[in-house]
């Protein structure tokens, strides 16, 4: 069987994760990584991977089945997805929730016109969490969805901590409130604000001689970021920070509590506990590359989301095997 040929655009954490994820498959192979940097000076962990400049991508039109777009949502993807979707099937992880309809429209136009298939907003949220919110809502109409994030390292909140006077370095974890989760799991369908659903825990390295009490107070009272939350501040050494807090864990929960018939409680729950957020996200992108390839073979052109992709399309296994061994 010939393999599905993939390209990767962007050599950040997501692109690196995608290289590893492709290696774990039997049915896909990596053709090249495309970068905006000078390919000569890009040092790859794996020397066997071919690197090319992003401007050369169009030369690969006949050699790549699906392009994995591993750039960021703020500035990269709004430009890159329409550009690459004019030449390739694509999968991206666009996650600026509020701009998804507009993004979908621009990608759909290009992909429809060029007979390509572009699956947008793939990953775990948006992505797997989105699927579960919709399926739970469809199956238990009389109920309530809850999404909890964490335990996860939050880049934005870590940055906020590091901007505080006297802070040398630091990280922030968003942690779902155990009480809130238990409350939701009990089927009570409580009203919960984001702050009630999550706690914030900071690990801070203070500058020598800095006033730790002042730092703690400034963090805990910072509006929008921390003031509304139950926030914990821990002071640690630079060594401890490096040793214990250099990974990028994340995860979370989608829970729907609802009722059927004469008031029987039904609790639907999906959760992820990830040691590496970017590696997991890129693993989802790689699995959905199969779907982009297959949908395109079926002439299902245009922009798609995870809602348009049947589960069997992301699996390397045949329909017969799935029915026999997994159903």
Half-sphere exposure of 300 (CA within 13 A, CB side): 15
Q: Does 153 bind its own copies (CB under 8 A)?
A: no
Could you say whether residue 85 binds its own copies (CB under 8 A)? no
Q: Least distance to its own copies from the beta carbon of 327, Å? A: 5
Q: Which is nearer to its own copies, 103 or 229 (CB)?
A: 103
* Interaction between residue 106 and its own copies (CB under 8 A): no
Asked if 51 is part of the footprint of its own copies (rule: CB under 8 A), the reply reads no
Q: Which helix (H) or strand (E) holds 168?
A: strand 167-176
* CB closer to its own copies out of 114 and 300: 300
Number of residues that bind its own copies (CB under 8 A): 70
User: In terms of DSSP H, where are the helices of the chain?
Assistant: 13-23, 76-85, 100-113, 128-139, 155-162, 178-185, 194-197, 212-220, 238-244, 277-297, 319-321
Cβ proximity to its own copies, 77 vs 202, nearer residue:
77
Contacts of 326 (CB under 8 A, 6+ apart): 317
Q: Quick check: 7 binds its own copies (CB under 8 A)?
A: no
Show contacts with its own copies in window 218-247 (CB under 8 A): 247
Burial of 101 (0-12, 13-18, 19+ CB in 10 A): exposed
**Binding test (CB under 8 A) with its own copies, winner from 50, 163, 242, 323:** 323
308 binds its own copies (CB under 8 A): yes
d(CA 289, CA 260): 37
Q: Where are the alpha helices (DSSP H) in 97-237?
A: 100-113, 128-139, 155-162, 178-185, 194-197, 212-220
Q: How far is CA 243 from CA 81, 237, 240, 246, 247, in A?
A: 37, 10, 5, 7, 9
* Region binding its own copies by CB under 8 A among candidate stretches 29-37, 122-130, 168-176, 207-215: 122-130
Interaction between residue 261 and its own copies (CB under 8 A): yes
- Token representation of residue 79: 């430009």
Q: Least CB distance from residue 246 to its own copies, whole Å?
A: 12
- Residues that bind its own copies in the complex, under the rule CB under 8 A: 16-17, 20-21, 24-26, 97, 100-101, 104, 121, 126, 128, 130-135, 137-142, 185, 247, 251, 260-262, 264-276, 279-280, 283-284, 287, 290, 305-312, 314-317, 319-320, 322-324, 326-327
């Amino acid at each position: 069987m010939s393999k599905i040929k993939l390209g990767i655009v962007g050599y950040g954490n997501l692109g690196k994760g995608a290289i590893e994820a492709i290696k774990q498959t039997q049915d896909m192979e990596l053709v090249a990584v495309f970068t905006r940097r000078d390919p000569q000076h890009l040092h790859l962990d794996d020397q066997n991977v071919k690197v090319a400049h992003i401007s050369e991508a169009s030369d690969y039109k006949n050699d790549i089945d699906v392009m994995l777009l591993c750039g960021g949502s703020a500035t990269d993807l709004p430009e890159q997805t329409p550009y690459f979707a004019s030449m390739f099937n694509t999968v991206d992880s666009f996650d600026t929730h509020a701009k998804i309809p507009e993004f979908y429209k621009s990608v759909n136009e290009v992909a429809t016109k060029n007979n390509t298939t572009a699956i947008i907003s793939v990953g775990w949220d948006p992505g797997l969490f989105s699927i579960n919110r919709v399926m739970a809502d469809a199956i238990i109409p009389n109920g309530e969805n809850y999404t909890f994030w964490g335990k996860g390292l939050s880049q934005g909140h870590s940055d906020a901590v590091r901007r505080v006077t006297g802070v040398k370095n630091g990280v922030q974890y968003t942690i779902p409130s155990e009480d809130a989760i238990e409350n939701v799991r009990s089927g009570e369908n409580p009203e919960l604000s984001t702050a009630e659903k999550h706690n914030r825990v900071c690990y801070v390295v203070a500058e020598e001689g800095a006033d730790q009490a002042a730092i703690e107070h400034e963090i805990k009272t910072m509006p929008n970021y921390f003031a509304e939350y139950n926030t914990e501040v821990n002071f640690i050494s630079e060594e401890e920070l490096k040793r214990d807090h250099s990974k990028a864990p994340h995860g979370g929960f989608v829970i729907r509590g609802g009722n059927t018939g004469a008031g029987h409680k039904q609790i639907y729950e999906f959760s992820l506990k990830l040691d590496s957020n970017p590696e997991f996200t890129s693993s989802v992108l790689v699995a959905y590359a199969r779907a982009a390839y297959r949908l395109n073979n079926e002439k299902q052109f245009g922009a798609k989301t995870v809602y348009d992709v049947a589960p069997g399309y992301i699996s390397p296994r045949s329909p017969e095997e799935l029915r026999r061994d997994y159903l």
